[in-house]
Amino acid sequence: MKQISLFRTRRPTQHFEWLNNDFGFFYTIKKHLLYYTTKYQTLELADTNEFGRVLLLDGITQAAQYGECYYHEIMVHPAMCCHPAPQNILVIGAGDGGVLKEVLKYSCVKSVELAELDKDVIEISKKYLKTIHKGSFNDSRVKINIVDGREYIEKNPKRFDVVIMDMIDPFGPARYLYTKEFFYSVKKSFRTNNGIFVMHSESPVTRPKTFLSIHNTLKSAFEYVCPFYAYIHMYATLWSITVSSDKINIKNFNKAFINQKLKKCKIKGLYYYTGIIHEASLATWPHLDRLLRKKSRILTDKHPTTPDKIIHK
């Protein structure tokens, strides 16, 4: 682990982030708390007015204290509410602990396996991002595995009811967790035919070609592929979270069912997700309907590169 001097690198007071080749966003950084290279990536922790503490990996915003609920709640609760018995859960990535926190709210959950490649992300999150994970790493149901997510899932067939993947964008080695072959490995990891897979699927607005390729690649592997749409403030654009299954069509569950399930499971204090948000987030614009009817290249291990150029400047 190599420490990087903030003075020598002259870190800016404003963080600029590109969403595509022509568009991006910025926010002001009050103070850099950490900035160093781990075994796998550059890890940065910054204090901001807009988001509170922010975790960045290779210069890309991953998690933020303020507003994390908009992302983590929609990543977790639709699948957990619609699966009839979500007992054994696998979380890939998500080293900040936000997904863990939401999953562990369900008393029916017996075990949660966390597969995270970079142990530094977990250790830094444990220490500095307590309002995001709220001690979830210490829950007796959680087992932390420092391992490549794809390698882990390929070695653990027929184990999980719900698999939730909260990964970085599809570039570099992470591209191989967005391919058809990987999605078939996810299916093999399901304990029953009711298995549900959740992943973020990029922005249909700022990365439409990549969103479409991920969607169509999921459709090549799963019977039901349902994108949820939400504006995620820390990503500064409309984002998509896609829920896939061979048996459970998440669009069939209405607001009354979701509200009743949340009540039955004694899920209280949510900031964002409700039954009406479940229904609303599944609605598509006419523009998105037309986009989803288009053909696109299926992402494979042989050709894993996404159509939109995801750049870092």
**Catalytically annotated residues:** 166
Work out the number of other CB atoms within 10 angstroms of the CB of residue 155: 11
| Pairwise CA distance, residues 179 & 16, whole Å | 29
Dist. CA 249–CA 29, nearest whole Å? 42
Q: Strand, coil or helix: what is 162? A: strand
Q: Exposure of 233 by Cβ count < 10 A (0-12 exposed, 13-18 middle, 19+ buried)? A: middle
> Residue 80 burial by CB count (10 A; 0-12/13-18/19+): exposed, middle or buried?
buried
DSSP letters for 73-90? HHHHHHHHHHSS---EEE
CA distances from 123 to 116, 201, 218, 291 (A): 11, 26, 32, 40
d(CA 283, CA 280): 5
Residue 196 in tokens: 């549900």
Angle, alpha carbons 7-8-9 (nearest 5°): 95
Q: Is the dihedral of CA 139, 143, 144, 148 positive or negative?
A: negative
**31 pairs with which residues across the strands?**
47
